[in-house]
Structure 1
Amino acid sequence: MVQKLKNLGRLKITILLIAMTSFCVAISVTRSLITDTKVFLFLNWNLFLALIPFTISTLMLVYNLNRKLPVILLTITWILFFPNSPYILTDLFHLRLNGSAPIWFDLVLILSFAWTGLVYGLISLMDIEKHLITYLNKKLVNSLIISFLFLASFGIYLGRYLRWNSWDIISNPLGLASDILGRFLNPLSHPRTWGMTLLMGLLLNMIYFSIKFIKAKPELAKI
Structure 2
Amino acid sequence: MLFFAKVYHFMALNVLLAYIPLELSFHFKKATKQLFFLLGMFWLLFYPNAPYLFTDFFHLEQLPIYHGMNQLFGQSLSAWLSFSLLTIGICVYGYLGMATLITIIKECYRRGLFKSRWHGVIFVIVINALSSLAIFVGRFDRLHSVHLLTKPIQTIQIIFLQWSVDKGLFIILLTGLQLILFASIIGVRALDSEVDGEKLY
TM-score, normalised to structure 2's length? 0.80
Distance 1:88 1:133 in 2: 28
Shift of 1:147: 1.1
Q: After superposing the two structures, state which structure 1 stretch, 93-102 or 152-161, moved more.
A: 93-102
Alignment of 1:120-139 (within 5 A): 120-134=96-110, 135=112, 136-137=114-115, 138-139=117-118
Q: In the alignment, which of 111, 126, 132 is matched to residue 153 of structure 1?
A: 132
Corresponding residue of 1:212: 186
Scaled by the length of structure 1, the TM-score of the pair is: 0.73
* Greater relative CO (CA pairs within 8 A, separation 6+): 2
Q: How does 1:1-223 map to 2 (within 5 A)?
A: 25=1, 29-32=3-6, 39-61=7-29, 64-65=30-31, 67-96=32-61, 99=64, 104-134=80-110, 135=112, 136-137=114-115, 138-183=117-162, 187=163, 190-218=164-192
Structure 1 residue 104 displacement after superposition = 4.5
Superposed displacement of residue 139, structure 1: 1.4
Instruction: Determine which structure has the larger helix proportion and give its number.
Output: 1
Deviation larger for 193-202 or 48-57? 193-202
Moved over 6 A (4+): none
- Larger displacement relative to structure 2 (171-180 or 98-107): 98-107
Give the drift of 1:211. 2.1
Structure 1 contact 95–103 (Cα < 8 Å) conserved: no
Where structure 1 has 5 or more consecutive residues not aligned to the other structure, the ranges are: 1-24, 33-38
- Assess, with a 3 A threshold, how the Cα gap between structure 1 residues 218 and 51 changes in structure 2: closer, same or farther: closer
Note if contact 1:83-1:156 (Cα within 8 Å) is conserved in structure 2.
yes
Unaligned runs of 5+ in 2: 66-75, 196-201
Q: What is the aligned-residue identity percentage?
A: 24
Counterpart code for 1:160: R
Kindly provide the CA deviation profile for residues 31-61 of structure 1, in whole angstroms up to 9, marking residues without a partner as x. 32xxxxxx31110011000000000011223
AA paired with 1:176? Answer: T
Q: 8 Å contact 2:17–2:46 — kept in the other structure?
A: yes
How many Å apart are 1:217 and its aligned residue?
3.2
Q: Distance in 2 between matches of 1:60 and 1:220?
A: 25
